[in-house]
A and B are shown apart, each in its own frame.
Chain A
Amino acid sequence: MITFTVNGETREFSGDPTTPILWYLRDELQLTGSKFGCGMAQCGACTVHVNGVAQRSCVLPVSAVSGSKITTIEGLSKDGDHPVQQAWIEHKVPQCGYCQCGQMMQAASLLASNPTPSDEEIVQGMSGNICRCGTYPRIHKAIKSAAKTMAGVEYFIPETEGEKA
């Protein structure tokens, strides 16, 4: 039995421990915001946070997340209002939208570790996430804008809820 939390809820898993966490989230928990894009950590559509850090859930076996706190797009904010999500709306980033949950999870993780990234640091931090619609210029602008919003503001992070209490 492998135990971990997903968006703050404790989960127990007793299936094939090699199962990538993506398929557990999608097939078992029906959390479909994390997308399948490549299955080999090449595109980032499946990005989730493990203990607050962006990881590619398509190659991360359940066995590796024992005791971890997993956050998906569904748990990034209570009402879809994480500063990154707000910036995505403000800049009307998405076209088809398929990659965007992964992009936002990557961006939120980037900003959590580096609240004031330079242009080049954003490029480095985001180049593992593919968008075939080609929204990169808008993603870049949205991250810069989210960084400004987030400066000095505390916001909801499921991984740290409870720790504060």
Chain B
Amino acid sequence: MSQYFDLTRRSFLKSSAAAGVLVLGTYFAGAAPRVMAGVLAKPSESAKTANLFVALRPDGIVEITCHRSEMGQQIRTALAQIVADEMEASWDKIVVIQGKGDLKYGDQNTDGSRSIRYNMQRLREMGASVRYLMRQAAATRWNVPIDSCSAQQHLVTHSSGKTLTYAELVNDALSITPPELDKILLKKRSEWRYINTAMEHIDLKDIVKGKAIFAADVLEPKALIAVIVRPPVVGGKVKRFDAKAAKAIKGVVDVIEIPAPKGAPLFQPKGGIAIVANNTWAAIQGRRALSVTWDDGKNGDYNSEAFKASLLATVSSPQSSVREIGDAATILAKASDKLVADYYAPHLAQAPMEPPCATAMYYKDRVDVWAATQNPQADMATVGAMVGLPKEKINVQVTMLGGGFGRKSKPDFSAEAAYLSMKTGQAIRVQWTREDDIQHSFYHAVSAQHIEASLDKNGAIEAYLHRTAFSPIASTFQEGATAPGSFELRLGFTDNPINTPNMKLENGEAPAKARIGWMRSVSNIFHAFAIQSFIAEAAHKAGRDQKDYLLETIGPARIVDVTEQNAQYDNYGADKATYPLDIGRLRHVIEKAADMSGWGRKLPKGRGLGIAAHRSFLTYVATVVEVEVSDSGELKIIKSWASIDAGTVVNTDTVINQVQGGSIYGMTAAISEGITFDKGRVQQSNFHDYRVPRMSDSPLEIEVEIIPSEAPPAGVGEPATPVYAPALCNAIFAACGKRIRQLPIGDQLKA
């Protein structure tokens, strides 16, 4: 009966708490979303320790546990919408409780745009189980068949008209065996009242009043503040330091060295010297007064200009095959009139508005952590390793996140706080400054790509060769790794949508001389940039309209299985029958976005429209950007339009907000100066030299349309990001004839 999950156990278990609270829990074994078993952990003692997905209290209040981190994607609201809808709960009786890090939840890693995909079905089933129990409890009380009892909005009504509230039925339900999953009747889509609506998100009013609690807003326990100076070069170590001047600052209470990491970076702290103070300003002042001499180690030679040249050299010669069909190499070797293009994009930093921050309190047998983390289970493991305790002894409370974008999946900051608490015996809050965030991130990879193609007499791509090289995320987990994991290549490279009889995709190795991590939509950013720019370049060469040519290049509506072309492809861990690569859906979003933008309309001089489309995280997005480029090369984005097919969506307004925001985030790749290194050191330090989009860069209107779909839910947080830079650069070309192949755009329009 489940189209999303292969259920191995067919029922939920229930426990009756002493307090008479009806609780239902569900469990994923490991990270695999396919194994579901009914398991019940201890019910909640109070709201603060609740560890289950849903609890119906005798007063009728429904506690729904959100085990995913909230970072602006409104997952706390979406999970509640799903459960409350299926259980027919009144929305005003819903309380959402933030789940702490706990292996029993299964995957809690809130990245990869998969919270809804992993959880929608099981949460629907759980909500429906509660609704069933309410109906059964009423039927038993009234001694009538269950089919004569219906449940709506916290009320069970018998066909005779008599009613009982959910609150009145809690106690009865405790003695009822939960239904087998096969007996649970999920609502029809037409019966949904919360799912697929634009409900206001539950944290909105707290945010607007300044009451939302982010990591640095945790007031209990009262903590000392630590600010840390870290080795400027990855792999560097403290040679010597002088703490005298720092300790003389009023308010500074301690200066503590943090050991250098060993082996692969993982999420280990970089080491360095911590200034511990009784207020933040004293800690910052203390750090300024500290004098440290560093041993830079083997990455002290990292220079971005030289590295760029080496990446471009790598992609200029044959590399390992990733996917192949036909004989692109032979055709291209003979072709007299090829289109050849190299693309380059620099490192980027995620730069969430809230810099990393965590509080920890070390006890002999446990550590309590309060952190802005995307993955509390990673905090458990990382903190445990840092202080020598098993991960089960690390209690991680997840605060609201002031943005994450992948940075906060790497909890080095929590491990720093735990280590300092262990050394001082006091609660410690580690506050990263913006300089720390810009200079000590896990960076979006620097990349170079080479594409060449020959066109047939009709202008279609007859042979296509594409090489990519980038510092791999794999290096963060395996010391010295130079080859990406297949998961990195599947992000927009292996699943290239171009329909051609001759295609060769290759990957070249590249070392990592910085910590490499994932940033919203990951390597989709540079792969979509190259592919979607190149298709537009080919359209121009063929003398065709860009949108028409894009549709022709991806070919007719069909299902593509790239593994039939000598490729490894894991499809974001999803079953390819359920989530196929569907060119029809890609075509549809292109047609829709083009239509929304009035594609083909006459534009004044200096204006241009550009389009790009891409499937990522199992979702299809197309974006059209309209720009104006002045004679002197000033760029203004007038407006953009996006259409998204993410399958079934839970909160329509959140989807629109994520597509708008994801678009502007994608603009970062085009307009930021990027992160560059010299002598192993990051050359940028704050928002004055690491430029991120401001309102003056942004279009004031981003129109979004959600393609209505009954397909299973796919990703929403990331897929709008990769298309933005290529759509923008294609628009620039249309406006002024200047082709951008190297990001950022910088002064290229002024040349």
Contact = CB atoms under 8 A, between A and B. Distances in A.
B204 A27 contact: no
A39 B433 contact: yes
26 contacts: A27-B279, A32-B216, A32-B219, A35-B354, A40-B687, A42-B686, A42-B687, A43-B434, A80-B208, A80-B209, A88-B208, A94-B72, A97-B400, A99-B402, A100-B207, A101-B210, A128-B694, A129-B694, A131-B353, A132-B351, A134-B665, A136-B664, A136-B694, A137-B660, A137-B698, A139-B695
A70 to B, nearest CB: 14
Nearest to A74: B210
Given A98-B352, A98-B403, A101-B210, 14 more contacts: A27-B280, A33-B211, A35-B216, A89-B205, A92-B200, A96-B72, A96-B404, A119-B700, A127-B694, A130-B353, A134-B665, A137-B702, A138-B660, A140-B700
Contacts of B72: 94-97, 133
Contacts of B208: 80, 85, 88-89, 94, 100, 104
Contacts of A128: 694
Contacts of B692: 130, 132
Nearest to B198: A92
Interface in A76-95: 80, 85, 88-89, 92, 94-95
A80 B660 contact: no
Nearest to A92: B653
Interface in A11-52: 16, 18-20, 23, 26-28, 30-40, 42-43, 45
* Chain B contact residues, majority secondary structure: loop
A133 B281 contact: no
Contact of B355 (A36, A72, A134): A36
Contacts of A74: 209-210
A73 B665 contact: no
Contact of B695 (A18, A36, A39, A126): A126
B661 interface: yes
A82 B431 CA distance: 31
Interface of A: 16, 18-20, 23, 26-28, 30-40, 42-43, 45, 72-74, 80, 85, 88-89, 92, 94-101, 104, 119, 122-124, 126-140
B598 to A, nearest CB: 19
A32 to B, nearest CB: 4
B286 to A, nearest CB: 12
B279 A37 contact: no
Contact of A94 (B207, B282, B667): B207
Given A35-B402, A123-B695, A96 B204 contact: no
A93 B207 CA distance: 10
A85 B210 CA distance: 10
Contacts of A20: 281
A152 B37 CA distance: 61
B701 interface: yes
Given A32-B210, A33-B210, A89-B205, A26 B403 contact: no
Contacts of A40: 434, 686-688
B665 A132 contact: yes
B502 interface: no
Contacts of A122: 695
Given A40-B686, A89-B204, A134 B698 contact: yes
Contacts of A123: 695-696, 700
Contact of A136 (B214, B405, B653, B700): B700
A164 B630 CA distance: 51
B687 A130 contact: yes
Contact of B402 (A33, A98, A135): A98
B354 A135 contact: no
B201 interface: yes
A43 B257 CA distance: 31
Nearest to A119: B700
Contacts of B71: 96
A16 B214 contact: no
A36 B216 contact: yes
A80 B354 CA distance: 23
Given A43-B353, A95-B73, A38 B695 contact: no
A126 to B, nearest CB: 5
Contacts of B667: 134
Closest 4 CB pairs of A and B: A33-B210, A98-B402, A134-B664, A95-B72
A132 B405 contact: yes
Nearest to B703: A137
Contacts of B435: 39
Contacts of B434: 37-40, 42-43
Given A23-B281, A97-B72, A97-B400, A38 B700 contact: no
Contacts of A37: 353-355, 434
B508 interface: no
Nearest to B199: A92
Contacts of B271: none
A78 to B, nearest CB: 11
Given A23-B279, A88-B208, A96 B664 contact: no
Contacts of B660: 134-135, 137-138
A34 B214 CA distance: 11
